[in-house]
Every structure is written in C-alpha cells, then in structure tokens.
Amino acid sequence: MFSGSIVALVTPFRNGEVDLPRLKELVEFHVREGTSALSPCGTTGESATLTHEEHEKVISAVVQQVGGRIPVIAGTGSNSTQEALRLTRYARKAGASAALVITPYYNKPTQEGLYRHYKVIAEEVDIPIVVYNVPSRTGVSISPETVARLAQFKNVVAIKEASGSLDQVSAILGLCNITVLSGDDSLTLPILSIGGKGVVSVVANIVPKDVASMVDSFLKGKQKEAAKMHGKLFPLTKAMFIETNPIPVKTAMRLLGRLNGELRMPLCEMTREHELQLTKALNDYGLL
C-alpha cells in the first residue's frame, strides 16, 4: 500500500462547487494508468479551503469510485487536533485505506506538541497513518527523533517527507524502520536511492504512467531505466512549482483538456509569464 506512485489528487471544481463527475473520471484515469494509490484532500486537493462537508464528500466519492482496486490514502490533517481526529475517524468510516495527516500548520507546536497530536490520533483511530512533513507550508518541521517516537505506534506506518532534505530522510531511516515516501517530485529518485519506497506525487496528476514507471523500475533494480525517466521528468516536476501548488498542475490539466483549471480563492490563475513557461515545459515533454 505504501510504495510506488501515489497521486496527490487534485479536487476539480465547477462554478465554485466540487465537480464529482469529473473527480470520478480522474479516479478511473489513474486506475487505468497504473497509479499505485490515490491521496485525495491533501495540499494538492486544496484541503485548506474545502468545507468539512466537501472534505467528507470527496473522500467518500474517491473510495466508492475506486471500489477497492487501489488504496485510498485520505488527507485528514488539520492545525486542530480535534478536527484532525474527526476527519480521520470519518476516513476510516468511509472505507479509506489509510490517513495522510499533515503536521499542524500556523500553530507552530513544539516537538512534544507534534508527538502528542499524532499520539491522540493513532490511539483513537484504528487506521494506518502517514505523517506528512512539509515545513515550507506549515511553518514547522517534525524532527527525525519525533518520527522515531511515533513509529513505535503500530499504525503510524509511513511519512510523506517534503522537507526537501535528504539529510532529514537519512536521519529518519537511521533511527527507525518507518516507510519513507517522497513528498517532492524532483527528489523522488534520490530518496529512493537512500531507502525510500515511493512518492506522493503532484506531477503524476499529468503523467501518472511515467512516474509509476520510474518508481517501479528503481524498486525492481533497474536503476539506469529509473535514472533515464528521472531525467525526462525533472523539468516538468520543476514546472509544477513555478507558482504555489496546485496552481501549475491545475493549469497544466486545463491546457491538456483534462480539467477546467478552476481554483478556489485565495488561489488564483497563473501569471501570463508563468503560463508561457508551463506551456513550454509541457511542449518540451511532448504533451502538447
């Protein structure tokens, strides 16, 4: 469940509402393309601006559409421990395979506070938990030592590591045997090379088969093939972050005719200059 190419799924909107028919189409697309698992309601899914009702609706829709064919790792994090607990309970009730729980944002808890946050969720909800570390967006980074403490809970099984630091990944793997998943597309191959098992990917919204192929090749010992695919993917992965995620990926999906590109405020459309850069990256990759 916690290896391969896991797609950080976008949330499609139409006229300000969640577009459930298009969401279901995206699920089918990823199942066909060989995606290992889907992760709705994360950062890429604009979870911060989904209402609680929408959050639950998206998780349920993805779980039902997947129908057990691949795992669903539902985003259930919050800067409120009680809110994260409620969302995680809902994910379990809805049939999600696991929960992706971001470190509390804005509050800037201490390491002890982070530990207690996850401890409450791990003890209260019987579901596999993936810790999500993305300090550039939350303002706090969970330390390797805290990760090792949390790994002692049987249902804290993995970490999505998006600190951008290979030192951080190395330290985590040196302290415990938790599964590490890359949270930065451009670092997926380097993280695999030091013991990671997969990626929770943004760019796989666009090229799921290629991301899956790269990870699968590496895990099967085909390092040269994986390196070649990494080289091909690298410029596209960087283009996905020329503005705040998920602005570029949703814009790319609009340019490819897969989505209308609608974002939820306060996110807004890309600048013309950046859209031209993104279009060039898609062209260079052979997608346009």
Summarize pLDDT for 110-122 with one digit per residue, the tens.
999 999 999 999 9
Please check whether residue 43 lies inside any domain of the structure: yes
In a domain, 138, yes or no: yes
User: What are the helix (H) ranges across the chain?
Assistant: 20-33, 52-66, 81-94, 111-124, 135-138, 144-150, 166-175, 188-193, 208-219, 223-239, 247-255, 272-285
8 A C-beta contact, residue 202 and residue 44:
yes
Confidence (pLDDT) at 286: 96
**pLDDT score, position 77:** 96
Pairing assessment for the beta strands 98-102 and 73-75 based on DSSP bridges: parallel
Residue 271: the pLDDT is 97
Query: What is the per-residue pLDDT for 202?
Result: 98
**pTM of structure:** 0.95
**What stretches in the chain show pLDDT beneath 70?**
none
The pLDDT of residue 81 is 97
pLDDT at 284: 97
pLDDT score of 64: 98
Contact present, 153 and 180 (Cβ < 8 Å): no
pLDDT, position 219: 96
Task: Answer yes or no: is 64 within a domain.
Answer: yes
* CATH number of the domain residue 143 falls in: 3.20.20.70
Residue 254: its pLDDT value, please?
A: 98
Count of CB atoms situated within 10 Å of the CB of 241: 16
Q: Could you tell me if residue 255 is inside a domain?
A: no
Number of structural domains (the chain) is: 1
Residue 167 falls within a domain, yes or no?
yes
Whether residue 144 lies inside any domain: the answer is yes
**Where in the sequence is the domain holding 209, given as residue range(s)?**
4-222
Other residues' Cβ atoms within 10 Å of the Cβ of residue 136: 10
pLDDT computed for residue 226 by the predictor: 98
- Residue 117 maps to a domain: yes
Q: Is residue 164 part of a domain?
A: yes
Q: Which positions are catalytic?
A: 132, 160
